[in-house]
A = this chain, B = another copy of it.
Amino acid sequence: MNNNTKIKNETTSLGGVPAVGDAYRAWLRYAPLLPDQAKEYAPWCGKIVVASSGTAPLLAPAVEELAAGLGSMLGREPRRGQAADGEGCLVVGTLDSAELQGVADDAEAKALGDEGYVLRTVDEPGRRFIAIAGRTDRGALYGAFHFLRLLQTGRPIADLRIAEKPSGKIRMIDHWDNMDGSIERGYAGESVFFREGRFLEDPEDRKRLRDYARLMAAVGLNAVAINNVNVHEIETKLITPELLPSVAKAADVFREYGIRLYLSINFASPIEIGGLSTADPLDPEVKRWWAERAADAYRHVPDFGGFLVKADSEFRPGPFTYGRDHADGANMLAEALEPYGGIAIWRCFVYDCLQDWRDRTTDRARAAYDHFRPLDGKFRDNVILQIKNGPMDFQVREPVSPLIGGMRHTNQLLELQITQEYTGQQRHLCYLVPQWKEILDFDTHALGEGSTAAKAATGELFGRPLGGFAAVANIGSDLNWTGHLLAQANYYGYGRLTWSPELTSEQITDEWARISFGHDPVVIGTIKRMLLESWSIYESYTSPLGIGWMVNPGHHYGPNVDGYEYSKWGTYHFADSKGIGVDRTVATGTGFAGQYHDVPAARYELPESCPDELLLFFHHVPYRHRLKSGKTVIQHIYDSHFEGTEKAEELVKAWRSLEGKIDEERYESVLDRLQLQAAHAAEWRDVINTYFYRKTGIPDEHDRKIY
């Protein structure tokens, strides 16, 4: 199948003004509530009082959002009032304000940190209001979005006793946007930041960017890198006075919603634009040059977040050229940023990308750990290592990277991929929250049981000063932001998880479905089932048992079993007529399994204890090897591909059952993609099954059609 298969209607890119429809409004849709619900909420929502003791710029967007949201949901916009009284209202502000005295005690308030909030129903004689309050205005902003979400999801508000704060300090989105307007691995139109080498700065573009910032803040995100980590020629100049005024204008938009802007930088900048002869991180001239760039950046953007760096990776320049290591490189940048409170985010996606497929001793899966583990403790406190969730590259199924929880003295960001590079490219429904939950809940055993990847990432586990999450965005200029409308749930879910990694998939899915589609139990039940099963469905008809890849090289769409088998990328399955899989054991293989802490290391080392879904990632086994499921590997391949394709067809049926219960525009656009998915799933099924049948000569036990 062609990667350029046309998809209808909703993917049309915005020329200028976004058409304001449900698809565009996404989780800030604020659909009118049913009369019963409205009746319950209205008594509290007639008036908004702002309460702060000093400057609190983020209260303005909080109030604006509440006014718009409540107006839309309740049919009447609340008044702005000067003070709470006995009639019921919302008081939005900071806990140190007079109006909110006593709403939280000191201990409670302190526990909220800089971003937390309380939602409290105060119902005392003469004092009748709902407090939406943080220690900071930023906390109040997040509280406002939480309060709106309660109404969107139909929760009671008469007795609120909510206190929340985010799990990690940095909750980031990475855009792989290029200034020509293209997006690397983007499947939803063009960049919302750039076009033809320039920033998009028309009022309509600003409006869209502001709406995007609202969507981010609504799910608690607080950091954004606006340009691709592969920094090309023009983008190298983003850190210069030539482009910083435009960067500053974009930062203004995000600042309004409490989001700090980061730039991806080119490690070779001192040479490419600085006129220096070296980019050696220990060279005094180079250090001075970067210090000047940091100063420039903060002159234009006072709350600039810092630099994001992909170095010595996939042909990007880096410190290796000068015989230096990653710590030298990262620390040099961190030092430049330190005076301003900025941070250097250094990606760990480093491996040998000129590998010889004949060489089975080199293992790309080992690379990040091998490179960075020895440097633990050598990074400055304002360096964060950004670690991809798996040791390979955002495959449908990978084990969690052993580097997560592998470094005690180094700040970490766990990097996920919202954009569906290897998971169907937003043509296939693949809801990733269940995958992310498995990753976050993975027990690294770094400090014994309960040492989850989430805790390692946030810094909680080792008491690190910084930590959190980053993910590659799946949005673009498409009217519905994400191409596949249901892919909005991935962005939403990512944001929610960065705030509260303990939320269940079920909870997040329920929230998103209700916010997006209302409260009809049939609709919500159906959509939730579709979402929650979709990753498993996609996995079942693509590459089996954790082996990964088997996609067309380059664009990564569609089945191609040998697509990466004879390549330089270190991505092999080693399937021959007898068996398949990569031996990554300590005993007989590459030793990758030994990079984990004791418990997972032991589990992965033996085929008997290795989970079925990761078997071929860790072991080379005969096709007749029996899985824990009782099936042989080859029969599992056949079965999962036949069943996965059937389930992809059932997704179409399930969606069709909702016809008339969803607005036609969203209904048709999703149907279109689900049908495409079912057709492509059949292609996957036939190619994979045929490949293995032709290679093994072992027939399907159920004698189904294989070509």
Within 8 A of B (CB), among A520-558: none
Q: Give the Cβ gap from A488 to chain B, nearest Cβ, in Å.
A: 33
- The count of chain A contact residues (Cβ–Cβ below 8 Å) is 21
Q: A358-B686, A686-B358, A707-B358 are in contact. Are A693 and B576 (CB under 8 A)?
A: yes
Q: Taking the complex as formed, is A560 at the interface, i.e. its CB lies under 8 A from any CB of chain B?
A: yes
Chain A residues 683 to 707 lying within 8 A of chain B, measured CB to CB, are: 686-687, 690-691, 693-697, 707
> In the complex, what distance in Å separates the CA atom of A695 from the CA atom of B357?
17
- Please judge, given known A-B contacts A358-B707, A707-B358, whether A697 and B566 are in contact too, CB under 8 Å: no
Task: Contact check, A560 vs B559: say whether CB atoms are below 8 A apart.
Answer: no
A575 to B566, CA, bound (A): 18
Contacts of A686 in B (CB 8 A): 358, 566
Instruction: Report how many copies the assembly holds.
Output: 2
CA distance A696 to B694 in the complex (A): 10
Q: Mark A425-466, 1 if CB is under 8 A from B, else 0.
A: 000000000000000000000000000000000000000000
Q: Which of A560, A566, A696 has the most CB of B within 10 A?
A: A566
Say which residue of B559, B578, B687, B694 sits within 8 Å of A575 (CB atoms). B694
Which residues of the partner chain B approach A693 to less than 8 Å between Cβ atoms?
Answer: 576
Give, as a whole number of angstroms, the nearest-CB distance from A621 to chain B.
15
Known contacts A686-B358, A695-B694; A566/B577 CB under 8 A: no
Contact of A646 with B by CB under 8 A: no
A672 CB–B CB distance under 8 Å: no
Neighbouring B residues of A697 by C-beta, 8 Å = 576-578
Q: Which of A560-590 contact B (CB under 8 A)?
A: 560-562, 566, 575-578
- Interface SS, A side: loop
Asked whether, in the complex, the Cβ of B358 is within 8 Å of the Cβ of A566, the reply is no
Least CB distance, A578 to chain B, in whole angstroms: 7
Option from B358, B562, B707 in Cβ contact (under 8 Å) with A562:
B562
Contact of A566 among B559, B566, B696 (CB under 8 A): B559
Give bound CA distance, A691 to B577, whole Å.
10
Contacts of A575 in B (CB 8 A): 694
A1: nearest chain-B partner, CB-CB: B568
Question: Please, which residues of chain B bring their CB within 8 A of the CB of A357?
Answer: 707
Picked from B562, B577, B578, B694, the residue with its CB within 8 Å of the CB of A560 is: B562
| Minimal beta-carbon separation of A686 from chain B (angstroms) | 6
Residue of B nearest to A580 (CB): B694
Q: Per-position contact with B for A266-299: 1 when CB-CB < 8 Å, else 0?
A: 0000000000000000000000000000000000
A566 and B560: CB pair below 8 A? yes
The 5 closest A-B pairs by CB, nearest first: A576-B694, A577-B697, A358-B707, A566-B687, A562-B562
Show 10 residue pairs from A and B whose CB-CB distance is below 8 angstroms, ordered by the A residue: A357-B707, A358-B686, A559-B566, A562-B691, A575-B694, A576-B693, A576-B695, A577-B695, A578-B697, A694-B695
